[in-house]
Amino acid sequence: MTETGGWPGGHPPTAPSGGPPPSVTSDRQPILQLRAISKHFGAVEALSGVDFDVYPSEVVALVGDNGAGKSTLVKTIAGINIPDSGEIWFEGQHVAIHGPRDPAALGISTVYQDLALCDNLDVVANLYLGREEVEPPVLLLSEERMEQRAREVLKSLDVKIPNPRNPIAALSGGQRQSVAVARSVMWKAKVVLLDEPTAALGVQQTKQVLELILRLRNQGLGVVVISHNLANVFEVADRIVVLRLGKRVGTYERKAASEERIVAAITGAEFGKFQPQV
Ligand SMILES: Nc1ncnc2c1ncn2[C@@H]1O[C@H](COP(=O)(O)OP(=O)(O)OP(=O)(O)O)[C@@H](O)[C@H]1O
Ligand SMILES: [Mg+2]
């Protein structure tokens, strides 16, 4: 990762696709800004010229039809996909993300749909999984210290796990998702990206995870949530960003948006065109 200095003149970069998107939060500085991000896979333009902002203490929902480019956008921020062009800014610094370690070092965490938890290990072990190379050096921590810290983290997020020494395989889907989210934020995360966090969950478990998302926001994090469930989106999101065929086609303040308008943006239908005449 390289840092190439602050915004020229203290302003966010303007890009061919336009400057920062209009928003009532424009008096605050975004923690994360993507500008004119493009990514193709062979002949597929998965992303073209996408601008995307995340502010501290907000939940941004990223919505769009299958194949719209949502996961590609998240993987670009996560350092899994390297964009063909475009810029990424974090806390006012232009940053280059060359791999997953770069966003991790910045405080950007991702929870993928498959969660990447180890079923046979207990909750404590999963919370520490894969962090060996990240400060602080967790290998030097004793089992007791790890368990104590795991309990503290779960408590601070109000995640109720009967016993953190239970294997992941013994948890419900909602509890697993909560452990994955807790793991992603326990290392000083400032932005967390959740790809379909409630897709496989029942009503009660979905509620738990949505509450956890709001708790993260209230703790000051910028939370990006991909979801196909617009009811969930309207429950937690402050802003809704719509992708269609790799392009950002709309950004909406949740309070000013309707599900009908979002659906129209997702499908490309003209808003109101098919409303019945009265
Ligand atoms: N690694 C890849 N190799 C080739 N094509 C890819 C790859 N990743 C994504 N694509 C293509 O890029 C486009 C965007 O895919 P992406 O996974 O970002 O969509 P999505 O919005 O997350 O869809 P879904 O809602 O189905 O998860 C699709 O046409 C997909 O087939
Ligand atoms: Mg996806």
Q: How close is the Cα of 213 to the center of ligand 2, in Å?
A: 19
**Percent of the chain at pLDDT exceeding 70:** 81
Closest CA to 127 of 81, 161, 78: 161
Ligand 1 contacts CB of residue 68 (under 6 A): yes
For residue 83, pLDDT over 70 is answered with yes
Of 207 and 131, the one with more pLDDT: 207
Ligand 1 contacts CB of residue 67 (under 6 A): yes
Supply 93's token pair: 């610094």
Of 273 and 122, the one with more pLDDT: 122
The preferred substitution site among 47, 72, 225 for testing ligand 1, maximizing ligand atoms within 8 Å of CB, is: 72
Q: Which of 120-129, 133-142, 234-243 is least confident? A: 133-142
Question: How would residue 222 be classed by pLDDT, with cut points 50, 70 and 90?
Answer: very high
Q: Whose CA is nearest to atom 18 of ligand 1?
A: 69
**Ligand 1 atom at shortest distance from the alpha carbon of 64:** 21
Of 111 and 230, the one with more pLDDT: 230
Residues 157-162: contacts with CB within 8 Å, 24+ apart? 157/181, 157/182, 157/185, 157/212, 157/215, 157/216, 158/211, 158/212, 158/215, 159/212, 161/123
Task: Calculate mean pLDDT across residues 149-166.
Answer: 85
Q: Whose CA is nearest to atom 12 of ligand 1?
A: 46
Question: If you average pLDDT over every residue of the chain, what do you get?
Answer: 83
Ligand 1 contacts CB of residue 74 (under 6 A): no
Question: How would residue 206 be classed by pLDDT, with cut points 50, 70 and 90?
Answer: confident
Ligand 1 contacts CB of residue 37 (under 6 A): no
3-state secondary structure of 51: strand
* Domain residue ranges of the chain, discontinuous segments joined by +: 28-115+184-267
The confidence score (pLDDT) of residue 2 equals 37
CB 225 within 8 A of CB 62: yes
Rounded to two decimals, the pTM is 0.82
Ligand 1 contacts CB of residue 64 (under 6 A): yes
253-272: b (≥16 Cβ within 10 Å) or e: ebeebeeebbebbbeeeeee
For residue 123, pLDDT over 70 is answered with yes
Question: How would residue 8 be classed by pLDDT, with cut points 50, 70 and 90?
Answer: very low
The preferred substitution site among 44, 45, 233, 267 for testing ligand 1, maximizing ligand atoms within 8 Å of CB, is: 44
Question: How would residue 126 be classed by pLDDT, with cut points 50, 70 and 90?
Answer: confident
The confidence score (pLDDT) of residue 48 equals 97
CB 110 within 8 A of CB 91: no
The confidence score (pLDDT) of residue 271 equals 61
The confidence score (pLDDT) of residue 181 equals 82
Classify 28-115+184-267 by CATH class. Answer: alpha beta
The confidence score (pLDDT) of residue 143 equals 77
Ligand 1 contacts CB of residue 199 (under 6 A): no
Ligand 1 contacts CB of residue 60 (under 6 A): no
Q: How close is the Cα of 44 to the center of ligand 1, in Å?
A: 9
Question: How would residue 273 be classed by pLDDT, with cut points 50, 70 and 90?
Answer: low
Q: How close is the Cα of 144 to the center of ligand 2, in Å?
A: 38
Q: Which of 25-39, 172-186, 221-235, 242-256 is least confident? A: 172-186
**Percent of the chain at pLDDT exceeding 90:** 50
Task: Calculate mean pLDDT across residues 81-102.
Answer: 94
Can you spell out the DSSP letters for 91-116? Answer: TTEEE---STHHHHHHTEEEE-TTTT
For residue 13, pLDDT over 70 is answered with no
Query: Which range has highest mean pLDDT (56-65, 138-147, 201-210)?
Result: 56-65
Q: How many C-beta atoms surround the C-beta of residue 90 within 10 A?
A: 23
